[in-house]
């Protein structure tokens, strides 16, 4: 029986998005051809490019395509050109809409320090060597989406703005269950991060986490305030296995964790939804780095976070763990051969281009 092709939707976006997506597509084509991986690929315009062409960050047709895809591969969005627009009309609204509309509540952000990159971290090598942690960030609620939000004028005529941090019991429960299940597949340690000392949502978060923990007696749990967690990530990041936290803290802490690994250009992520009737989950894969407008269009961006996001897709959406292993091994090989983009190069190393990294990975895969 021939395998039904998986439906993938590719959304390059803007900034460095299209450049890193180009390299991931070459790698994807390789797997499709050499590993009998039948794929049905569609591509659509999103973010800044969509604002320029259609006046909105994401069109309903694109959202519809996203809903019917087995997996979405997302590049990056954002840039100065659109910074004057109201928050909900900016390129960033496209990714937030996708997370929210597809209910992609579990944002999984692994931070792994490759042995060849130990010296590129801003921390001392012994602090980061062997680092392998995952941040599970809640992706569909919290202050990113809470209402009411907006701007108003006070009685004294002063303009003020407000956001609303919101979490319901079921929203906290499901992300905690997801994180416990992940910790069970790893080293069995889970740290819940909140601000239960100052926030109502934090106090509820902690209460629900402790309740869910009773279902997972074999997982060793801890709690940390978000500010302390930021400090501990820099002081001793290897104490962590899995961290579970809310949308905003997860955004901040994942950038911090990314940098421990040597470069923000190395971090993939997956946003996973609830299981559908057929057991499959909606999923979107994207690099943690943003659109990096300062380096866009110069063929110097690091495509590895995007390509590693495809490895996550192979593993989580396409049931191809061995192909994912091979891709990750090829990337490790390229790095240990000293082939790296400028973000990873020391002063006396010559950087490889974005395209050059794609070439090098294909070279290893072909051997």
Active site residues: 144, 195, 227, 251, 255
d(CA 205, CA 207): 6
Residues from 284 through 303 that contact ligand IPM (CB under 6 A): 288, 290
Residues from 83 through 102 that contact ligand IPM (CB under 6 A): 92, 95-96
Give which of ligand IPM, Mg ion, none residue 78 binds (C-beta under 5 to 8 Å, depending on kind): ligand IPM
Choice between 288 and 335, CB closer to ligand IPM? 288
Strand duo 106-112 + 132-138: pairing:
antiparallel
Choice between 241 and 251, CB closer to Mg ion? 251
19 binds ligand IPM (CB under 6 A): no
Choice between 25 and 109, CB closer to ligand IPM? 109
Binder among 138, 251, 282, 328 for ligand IPM (CB under 6 A) = 251
Choice between 19 and 251, CB closer to Mg ion? 251
**Least Cβ distance, residue 151 to ligand IPM (angstroms):** 19
Binder among 15, 47, 75, 78 for ligand IPM (CB under 6 A) = 78
Binder among 19, 92, 246, 251 for Mg ion (CB under 5 A) = 251
Using CB positions, name the residue nearest to ligand IPM.
92
Give which of ligand IPM, Mg ion, none residue 258 binds (C-beta under 5 to 8 Å, depending on kind): none
212 binds ligand IPM (CB under 6 A): no
Using the contact rule CB under 5 A, the part of the chain among 32-40, 246-254, 271-279, 295-303 near Mg ion is 246-254
Choice between 246 and 251, CB closer to Mg ion? 251
Using the contact rule CB under 5 A, the part of the chain among 61-69, 150-158, 251-259, 305-313 near Mg ion is 251-259
92 binds Mg ion (CB under 5 A): no
Using CB positions, name the residue nearest to Mg ion.
251
Cis peptide before 12 (omega within 30 of 0): no
**Least Cβ distance, residue 275 to ligand IPM (angstroms):** 23
Contact criterion met (CB below 8 Å) for 70 and 59: no
Choice between 78 and 358, CB closer to ligand IPM? 78
Q: What is the 3-state secondary structure (H, E, C) of the chain?
A: CCCCCEEEEEEEECCCHHHHHHHHHHHHHHHHHHCCCCEEEEECCCCHHHHHHHCCCCCHHHHHHHHHCCEEEEEECCCHHHCCCCHHHCCHHHHHHHHHHCCCCEEEEEEECCHHHHHHCCCCHHHHCCCEEEEEEECCCHHHCCCCCEEEECCCCCEEEECCCCCCHHHHHHHHHHHHHHHHHCCCEEEEEECCCCCHHHHHHHHHHHHHHCCCCCCEEEEEEHHHHHHHHHHCHHHCCEEEECHHHHHHHHHHHHHHCCCHHHCEEEEEEEECCCCCEEEEEEECCCCCHHHCCCCCCCCHHHHHHHHHHHHHCCCCHHHHHHHHHHHHHHHHCCCCCHHHCCCCCCCCCHHHHHHHHHHHHHC
Q: Which residues are near ligand IPM by CB under 6 A?
A: 78, 92, 95-96, 251, 288, 290
Q: Which residues are near Mg ion by CB under 5 A?
A: 251
């Amino acid at each position: 029986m021939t395998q039904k092709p998986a439906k993938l939707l590719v959304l390059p976006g803007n900034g460095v998005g299209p450049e890193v997506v180009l390299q991931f597509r070459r790698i994807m084509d390789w797997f499709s051809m050499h590993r009998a991986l039948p794929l049905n690929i569609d591509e659509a315009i999103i973010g800044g490019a969509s604002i320029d062409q259609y006046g909105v960050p994401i069109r309903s047709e694109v959202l519809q395509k996203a809903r019917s895809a087995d997996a979405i591969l997302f590049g990056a969005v954002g840039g100065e050109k659109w910074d004057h627009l109201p928050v909900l009309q900016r390129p960033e609204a496209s990714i937030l809409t996708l997370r929210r509309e597809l209910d992609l509540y579990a944002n999984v952000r692994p931070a792994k320090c490759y042995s060849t990159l130990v010296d590129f971290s801003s921390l001392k090598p012994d602090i980061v060597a062997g680092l392998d942690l995952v941040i599970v960030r809640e992706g569909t609620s919290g202050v990113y989406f809470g209402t009411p939000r907006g701007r108003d004028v006070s009685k004294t005529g002063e303009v003020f703005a407000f956001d609303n941090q919101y979490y319901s019991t079921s929203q906290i429960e499901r992300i905690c269950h997801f994180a416990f299940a992940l910790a069970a597949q790893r080293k069995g340690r889970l740290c819940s991060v909140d601000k239960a000392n100052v926030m109502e949502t934090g106090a509820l978060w902690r209460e629900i986490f402790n309740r869910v923990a009773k279902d997972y007696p074999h997982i060793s749990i801890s709690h940390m305030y978000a500010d302390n967690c930021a400090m501990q990530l820099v002081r001793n990041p290897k104490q962590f296995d899995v961290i579970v936290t809310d949308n905003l803290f997860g955004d901040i802490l994942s950038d911090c964790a990314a940098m421990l690994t040597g470069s923000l250009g190395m971090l993939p992520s997956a946003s996973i939804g609830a299981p559908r009737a057929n057991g499959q989950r909606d999923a979107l894969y994207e690099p943690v780095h943003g659109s990096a407008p300062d380096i866009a269009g110069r063929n110097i961006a690091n495509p590895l976070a995007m390509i590693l996001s495809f490895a996550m897709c192979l593993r989580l959406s396409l049931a191809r763990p061995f192909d994912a292993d091979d891709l990750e091994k090829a990337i490790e090989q390229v790095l240990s051969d000293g082939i790296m983009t400028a973000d990873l190069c020391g002063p006396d190393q010559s950087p490889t281009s974005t395209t050059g990294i794609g070439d090098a990975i294909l070279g290893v895969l072909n051997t």
